[in-house]
Each structure stands twice: as structure tokens, then as C-alpha cells.
Amino acid sequence: MTKPRIAVAGIHIESSTFTPYISTADDFIVTRGEELMDRFYWRDEDWATQIEWIPVLHSRALPGGVVERGAYDAWKAEILEGLAAAGPLDGLFFDIHGAMSVQGMDDAEGDLINAIRGVIGPEPMVSASMDLHGNVS
């Protein structure tokens, strides 16, 4: 039996538009590859071993200000490149907070998932893990 192929990617921050602070790339911890998968306590569970995980990029910060546009654009590009290189997928684990604001954007997570859909197509299931008070696009 072929294992389902599920990519893992996301940018995770709770942004406040009321602070003058701008969250830069230096405020984030960025993980890729196996280091990204090491974040998940469930990775050795029986069900998780039945999946071929394709770790792309995860960028995570403590709550802060609006994200600098250049940092967002760079991570978005890397995610899209990684997904394109991964080939056909059965799904995406979209690991986000749900309350990210980016300079000059109204809906950064919506922008990111639309761009991702442009790469992976309409068929793969996208499952989002997000904060309970995040905003769904």
C-alpha cells in the first residue's frame, strides 16, 4: 500500500495591529526538513507512521506586531518552491496561528493558501491547525 503524501508548511504568529513594533525575520524560529517534524509529539504514533510526511517550512514567532512584508514574501516563495518540488500530494497540514497581519495585506493567510492551491491544485485535502480565536478566510 502506498502511503499518503502530506506536506507540512505554515507561518505562525499572532499579530497586533495596535503596536508600532514590526515583526521581522529575526523574531521567528524557522524550521525545515526533519527539524520541522521533530516539533510534533505525535510523529511516532502508529497512525503518523503510515504517512509520508513532506516537511517544507514552518516559521513561528511569539505574538508581535505586523510582519515585515519582505520576510513574509521570502517564506511564501520558499513554501511554494518546496511544494512544487515535492510533486503530487494527497494533502497539506497547514500549520498557522490564524491571526497574522503582514504589511500592505488584508489577509495574509488567505493569500498564502490561495498561492498554495495554485501549486498543489484543487484535489489535495488541506487541514489547518490554528489557534481557537484565529480568523478563517
Residue 103, in any domain of the structure: yes
By residue range, what is the domain housing residue 74?
A: 5-129
Count up the domains in the chain and report the number.
1
The dihedral through the CA atoms of 30, 7, 40, 34 has a sign that is: negative
Residue 135, in any domain of the structure: no
Residue 136, in any domain of the structure: no
Residue 137, in any domain of the structure: no
pTM (predicted TM-score):
0.94
Report the pLDDT averaged over residues 78-100. Answer: 96
If one counts every other C-beta atom within 10 angstroms of the C-beta of residue 50, the result is 10
Residue 134, in any domain of the structure: no
| pLDDT single digits (tens) 108-122 | 999 999 999 999 999
Residue listed under C-alpha cell 480565536: 133
Phi and psi at residue 7, to the nearest 5° = -85, 155
Residue 76, in any domain of the structure: yes
| Nearest one of 39, 42, 43, 81 to 60, comparing CA atoms | 39
| pLDDT single digits (tens) 93-111 | 999 998 999 999 999 999 9
